Amino acid sequence: MPAIPVIIDTDPGQDDAFAILLALAAPELEVLGLTTVAGNMGLPQTTDNARRIVELAGHGTLPVHAGCARPLMRAPRPVPEIHGETGIDGWDWAEAADGPAPGHGVDFIIETVLAHPEPVTMILLGPQTNFAMALRRAPEIAANIARVVFMGGGYFEGGNMTPAAEYNILVDPEAARITLGSGIPITAVPLDCTHACAAPVGWSQMLAAHPQPVMQACSGMMEFFERYGNAKHGTASRPLHDAVAVAALIWPELFTGRLCPVDVECAGELTTGMTVVDWLRQTGKPDNCLWLAGCTGPAEVYARMETALARLGR
C-alpha cells in the first residue's frame, strides 16, 4: 500500500517531538515537510526545535518552514512550565545545523497541497493558525486534502488549561473553528482519546535501554514531560498527546470514536476554547468530525511506537 503523503504542522513540545519522530519512522507515511507555529513556545524556538528533531532523526534535508508567530486574534500563550525553557527539555540537544527553509509555512502548505498529484493529509499538532490561514487565503486547497488529523479538544475529559478548554484549541479557537467548518474529512484526537492511551509506567526506562541517540533523547524527554503532568494529574504515567494523534492515523484499528457534529466556543465567559461535541446528535447539524474517544490497546500503541522509533538512527 502506498505511503500517505502528509504535512506536519507543529509547535514542539516533547510530545510533538515524539509525533514527528514516529511519522518519520513510519513506512505508512511520506512526510512532505513541516510547518511551525507559535504555541508551546514562541515561533523562533518551535522552528529551531523542529530542525533539531528532523536532524536527530537523520532527515536533515526535510524542509521546515516557519509559519505564524501569533494566533489569528489573540496573544501567544507559551507554556515553558510544562515543556521547559526550550520546549523539548530532557536531552542535551545539538545545535541545528540548518535554519528554516525559505518561505512562509502558510505558503508551503498552499503550494505543496495544490501541486501534489495525490490528496495530502494534514497532521495538526498545535494551534491551527497556519492551516486556517491557508484555508482563508486559498480555499481551493480543500479539494486536494484527503483528511485533517488534529490533536486537540476534549468532551468527556473537559480541558487541561481551563475546566472547558484543551491547550491547542484554547490558544487559537478561531482557527480551530475554521478547520472544523472547512468541509474536509476530519479526525480529532482529543484528551478523551489521549487520556485513554497513557504510556506504560516506566516507559522512559524502556526507551533508555536502546543505544541509539534518538532513543536516548526520547527517554530524557519522556522523563521530563511526565514530571509536570504526573504532579498535576496525580498519575504514574502520561500520554504523549501528539504522538497518539500520529498513531491514530497509522494504526486506526486501535482507536474508537464516533462521527458527529463538532464546533468551538470562541466567546464564552467561562468556556472559550471549548470543543462543543454533539455526541448524541441533538442539534441536527451535519456530522463534520470523527471524534476519537478511546483506545483499545494503549500498551500495543507504545510497543509499536517503540519499535518504530528504534529504527531511526540505525
Residues designated as active site = 241
155, 193 Cβ separation under 8 angstroms: no
d(CA 23, CA 142): 22
Give the cell for residue 167: 491547550
- Pick from 78, 45, 244, 46: nearest CA to 161: 78
CA dist., res. 93 & res. 56, Å (int): 9
Could you list the beta-strand ranges (E) of 47-132. Answer: 64-66, 120-124
- Cα(131)–Cα(123) distance, integer angstroms: 10
| Distance from the Cα of residue 287 to its chain's centroid | 22
**Backbone dihedral region of 42: left (phi > 0), alpha (psi from -120 to 50 degrees) or beta?**
beta
Close Cβ partners of 260 (under 8 Å, ≥ 6 residues apart): 277, 278, 279, 281, 287, 289, 291
H or E segment at 256?
strand 255-260
Neighbour tally for 101: CB within 10 Å: 18
C-alpha cell at 204: 522512559
What distance in Å separates the CA atoms of residue 286 and residue 63, rounded to the nearest whole number? 37
Number of alpha carbons in the 13 Å side-chain half-sphere of residue 174: 11
Q: How far is the C-alpha of 52 from the C-alpha of 59, rounded, in Å? A: 10
* Burial zone of 123 (CB within 10 Å; 0-12 exposed, 13-18 middle, 19+ buried): buried
- Amino acid identity at 294: G
